[in-house]
Amino acid sequence: MERNLMKGNEALAEAAIRAGCKCFFGYPITPQTELSAYMAKRMAKAGGVFLQAESEVAAINMVLGAASAGVRAMTSSSSPGISLKSEGISYIAASDLPCVIINVQRGGPGLGGIQPSQADYLQATKGLGHGDFQVLVYAPSSVQEMINLLTKAFDMADEFRMPAMILADGLLGQMMEPVEFPEAKTHQIPKPWATNGTGMKRKHNIINSLYLTPEELEKTVLDRYKRYEVLENEHTEAETYLTEDAEILVAAYGATARVAKSAVIKAREAGVKAGLIRPITLWPFPKKEIVKASENAKHILVTEMNMGQMVDDVKLAVECRVPVSFFGRTGGMVPKPSEILDKILELGGAE
Amino acid sequence: MAVVFEKPHSLCDVSMHYCPGCTHGIVHRLICEVIDEMGIEGDTIGICPVGCSVMAYDYFNCDMIEAPHGRAPAVATGVKRALPDKYVFTYQGDGDLAAIGTCETVHSATRGENIVIIFINNTIYGMTGGQMAPTTLPGQVTQTTPFGRDTSVAGFPIRVCEMLSTLDGVALAQRVSVDSVPNIKTAKKAIRKAFENQKEKRGFSIVEVLSTCPTNWGLDPIEALERLRKDMIPYFPLGVYKDITAKEDK
């Protein structure tokens, strides 16, 4: 298979087109803008639609419209823009519509900065809008994995009729790596619920999130949570590295996991039994994978590019049976392998 | 027995939640008559707003989407771009279209998005119980302008058709009223023209319909129609503000 050197943002765009994305609605924001630029160049040739919206708010609502029409639709942004999209994401989730949203995270809060960050973890996994709902959240840690997970995100979004997010960061979006595009294994399923015209052959379809009767509204939420339960039981993903005998288990996702892996290797060389667990699905959270990886752990070290947003999830996963510490950098700072190594060695009792 | 009058097929045979004397029912019917006459029910997707017509998805027989507040033109854009051969219309009130949704309205218009917008201007937020709208007239008493709209504090009403008529993407911008039989006939012709524009891919068409809200105006239905004629039409003159087919006719 042909290997190409590609920038993360552009790889995401190409992967989306290959996954059958028919409509992309974008809005410029650093550090994800190359994605829109790539779509602007390629989408029309690929038989799809690229449109630069007037705002992030409009872009996500255009996604709502295109998803209602039954086509695969996507938008991308970076942290402040995702906050603007959260209204639309709540409506999309409440209307049981599938779509893919990319967040190439940058430092926050507020306008923050434009350097890589993971400070939207809590937003993505716990509160991407008002109301009771979840979004599938995938955290790739390489350009190749962004490609693979994007295809999967479209498939899972369709199957479970919910939004899926690729939670990347400025580091992954901006870096170039050799990638290959696997033969598209995406499978598109029929969407009999789509509002694409009755053709006078069926009763009208309605895409809606309004239920003024509380009993009805509660039922729609409960139905959705049944699907979420299936996801939590059957569709969690994590990668493990040297965890079988690990006494110090490092938990990290996305770009930080790559830095953490270097630190784990160095720690092993220094005689500390370190291992790495890398959640790939941030929601559903890979609890059982973490429990298994921490069987021999004396300590868990969570490392992120934020102030410790995943720590509580890890503590809950192991039900506080193993002490959990945190090391992170924030504001657009990327942790150095040596910084994580020092922390591992400290926890591992090395002099 | 010969049928001389019936409900349009595209109008669902259900009772509506609108207040007595409200003109939503007339406008719904006009849209459905046009859809029936053009034979496009099976190819039409309607988008309702947040506001009194939030539940219009239960009244139109075509496929329907309920949009977030003000976002109907963006949702319509998404549908139309995905399905360019289908007919897409939005039905929006003044708060939805000219306050929270102004950005989406202006930009879908300037893009020449090939959609139809039916804009209900009744100078008030109806669903939430009668607050000041962007079209509330100077001096008008509402729940949030209890002493009358003071333009030195609350600014001035927006004349949407006049504003949008300056944009190149707009094919039709027409203000009509449903206060009398002749005006209702004109309104229907305007709605028909808007849908014909979409068929011919001419771009963005907006039909602004001056409407009544007897409940929140505190008037009976007859008085409400009189207010529409006496107070609203002078501030929001009826007429065609832009019609690109007018040039073609000459």
Pairing outcome for strands A4-7 and A99-105: unpaired
Tokens encoding A315: 């503590």
What would the CATH number be for the domain defined by A4-234?
Answer: 3.40.50.970
Q: By three-state DSSP, how is residue A301 classified?
A: strand
CA distances from A270 to A25, A342, A349, A350 (A): 49, 11, 11, 8
By the 8 A CB rule, do A161 and A194 touch?
no
Tokens encoding A15: 């992967």
Q: Chain B contact for A210, CB < 8 A? A: yes
CB-nearest partner of B42 from A71, A198, A208: A198
Residue B235 lies in a domain: yes
Residue B80 lies in a domain: yes
CB-nearest partner of B107 from A58, A66, A87: A58
Q: What is the pLDDT of residue A186?
A: 78
Residue A331 neighbours by CB distance under 10 Å: 15
Q: CB distance B66–A204 less than 8 Å?
A: no
Q: Which residues pair with B46 in a beta bridge?
A: B64, B89
User: Residues, chain A, total?
Assistant: 351
Cβ within 8 Å of A, B 33-62 = 41-45, 47, 54-55, 57-58, 60-62
Q: What is the pLDDT of residue A21?
A: 97
pLDDT digits (tens, 9 = 90+) for B68-82: 999 999 999 999 999
Residue of A130, A118, A67 whose CA lies nearest to A95: A67
Q: For residue B82, give the CATH number of its domain.
A: 3.40.50.970
Total domains present in chain B: 1
Say yes or no to pLDDT of A25 above 80: yes
Q: Is A268 exposed, middle or buried (0-12, 13-18, 19+ CB in 10 A)?
A: middle
Residue B139 lies in a domain: yes
Q: What is the pLDDT of residue B162?
A: 98
The question of ipTM being above 0.95 is answered as yes
Interacting residues of A54 by C-beta distance below 8 A, sequence separation 6+: A27, B103, B104, B106, B107
Confidence band of B248 (pLDDT split at 50, 70, 90): low
Q: Chain A contact for B117, CB < 8 A? A: no
Residue of A303, A42, A16, A248 whose CA lies nearest to A151: A16
A chain contacts of residue B60, beta-carbon cutoff 8 Å: 204
pLDDT digits (tens, 9 = 90+) for B38-61: 999 999 999 999 999 999 999 999
Residue B191 lies in a domain: yes
CB-nearest partner of A207 from B54, B61, B65: B65
Q: CB distance A51–B81 less than 8 Å?
A: yes
d(CA A171, CA A8): 9
Distance, C-alpha B225 to centroid of its chain: 17
Q: CB distance B107–A69 less than 8 Å?
A: no
Q: Which residue type is seen at A125? A: T
Residue of A243, A258, A270, A235 whose CA lies nearest to A345: A270
Question: Which CATH number is A240-348's, of 3.50.50.60, 3.40.50.920, 3.30.56.10, 3.10.20.30?
Answer: 3.40.50.920
Say yes or no to pLDDT of B250 above 60: no
Sequence ranges of the domains in chain A: 4-234, 240-348
d(CA A10, CA A93): 27
Among A180-189, A215-224, B107-116, B142-151, which stretch is predicted with the lowest mean pLDDT?
A180-189
Pairing outcome for strands A176-179 and A4-7: antiparallel
Residue of A125, A118, A124, A120 whose CA lies nearest to A172: A118
Domain extent for B34: 24-249
Tokens encoding B207: 């039909």
Q: In the predicted model, what is the mean pLDDT of chain A?
A: 97
Tokens encoding B222: 């007859």
Say yes or no to pLDDT of B33 above 60: yes
Residue B216 lies in a domain: yes
For the residues A241-251, what does the mean pLDDT come to?
Answer: 98
